[in-house]
Structure 1
């Protein structure tokens, strides 16, 4: 049986930290910047933040009603490729 790679704990810790940070920042934005489409001044007229949601799938691309499924399949494929590359190193 093959032993665990030395970078495996670092990989999982980084993955969990990035996902947690993403979720926390989305929660902060949703609570602090509500209501939608209303600019919130941070540094006067120099920096304003506005809460908006993307109705499309990724990067505003819309491939019809199956957009989300197509991008989920592409993401799953990319993750499988990355996992195999990680195992090969």
Structure 2
């Protein structure tokens, strides 16, 4: 790994760690401030804070397959951890580190939140006009995916060095 690649690994871990910390802190806040309360308007009814526990995936799909989402999050986090340590542009590292942070924090929710190990529910609290309810990790995952697509379309993948 070259010198510039070695400097990108701390960037990758820093971005991913920031996503995990901000996501978990906001979930902690949401559980303390929103439990037992009516939705709190932030931008009228368009954006509200409303506490939900999501056993499924996006839009609460697969609510009876929480264990499957735990496995998917673990595989995704493992692959992303490997991927961000490989030579990439800074833009690619940031994009995939956002994805890594989102995957890791969702994995943590699945592993350690109620109702039990590997069956935990994700804390969601940002209600988007009733379309869906998400959290900071979901924002990071969405931004990371969009950024990865944009960056990949603009910059070809670096060639792997030949031995």
Which residue of the partner structure matches residue 58 of structure 1? 57
Q: Do the aligned partners of residues 9 and 87 (structure 1) sit closer, same or farther apart at CA in structure 2, a change above 3 Å counting?
A: closer
In angstroms, what is the RMSD of aligned CA positions? Answer: 2.5
2:74 pairs, out of 55, 59, 76, with 76
Which residue of the partner structure matches residue 6 of structure 1? 7
Q: CA deviation at 1:35?
A: 0.7
> Which structure has greater helix proportion?
2
Q: Distance in 2 between matches of 1:75 and 1:32?
A: 28
Structure with larger Rg: 1
User: How many residues end up aligned between the 2 structures?
Assistant: 82
Q: TM-score, with normalisation over the residues of structure 2?
A: 0.42
Alignment check: 8 A CA contact 2:9 2:85 kept: no
Higher relative contact order (CA 8 A, sep 6+): 2
Q: Do the aligned partners of residues 71 and 40 (structure 1) sit closer, same or farther apart at CA in structure 2, a change above 3 Å counting?
A: same
Q: CA deviation at 1:20?
A: 0.4
> Which structure has greater strand proportion?
2
Q: TM-score, with normalisation over the residues of structure 1?
A: 0.68
Which residue of the partner structure matches residue 20 of structure 2? 19
Q: Do the aligned partners of residues 40 and 8 (structure 1) sit closer, same or farther apart at CA in structure 2, a change above 3 Å counting?
A: same
Q: Distance in 1 between matches of 2:61 and 2:13?
A: 30
Unaligned runs of 5+ in 2: 88-163
Deviation beyond 4 Å, 4+ runs, structure 1: none
